[in-house]
Amino acid sequence: MHTPHRAPDGRGGFTQIFSTTGFASATGFPLSLEQAVVSTSTAHTIRGLHYSSALSPRAKYLTCVAGRIVDVVVDVREGSDTFGQHATVELSADNAKSIFVPPGYAHGFLALEDSTVLHLDSEERDPEEEFVLNAFDAALGIDWPIAPAEAHLTPADADAPTLAAATLPHIDDLQETISLWKDMWVIANEQAGA
């Protein structure tokens, strides 16, 4: 999670939500962005839990620019020591926090009020390699602040498989992507003379 520096003044303010240099120094590898998407969600909408396959791994960096959401990230990498575990954080326009979702993790959020979320993605979305988990799967243990009957879900999200029934990426299949990112960072630093 990233909490940006904010610079308010009499006119309003300025908040830098992402920088490639800052991200790389915090994580050890770069995040090259290929797509930016803005989603709007009415209160009680749940989007997700979405993840991509190891054939088309996609990282995401998200910020809530209007409203307030409960953001959830689940480790779906088979073979991982933290497989099936999740983290939950509130993102809002007021706190200006951002969250990074690496490949091999499912992501979703609940709009606590009408909300707008900025998604920065490392790859363009490939519908053939995108999958979804049931957000209300009891095995995940996610404590959503609303009941399933109150949630606004797409039919695909509502009918999504559980963690036990889903097709999931294996951690070994994702190591190549992570190594490639680190190699790209080394090459970029060498070219920049760093």
Per the CB < 8 A criterion, the answer to whether 133 and 52 are in contact is: no
For the chain, which domains are there? 6-190 (2.60.120.10)
pLDDT value for 7: 65
Count CB neighbours of 166 within 10 A: 18
Burial of 18 (0-12, 13-18, 19+ CB in 10 A): middle
pLDDT in tens, 1-25: 556 566 667 777 667 777 777 777 7
Q: Which residues pair with 50 in a beta bridge?
A: 107, 132
List average pLDDT for each run of 10 residues in the chain, which is 194 residues long. Answer: 64 71 73 88 97 86 96 95 95 92 94 97 87 97 96 96 93 76 53 48
Collapsed DSSP state (helix, strand, coil) of residue 183: helix
pLDDT value for 181: 59
Q: What is each CA distance from 128 to 12, 53, 75, 88, 184, in whole angstroms?
A: 43, 9, 21, 27, 26
Count CB neighbours of 85 within 10 A: 12
* Dist CA 146 CA 133 (whole Å): 18
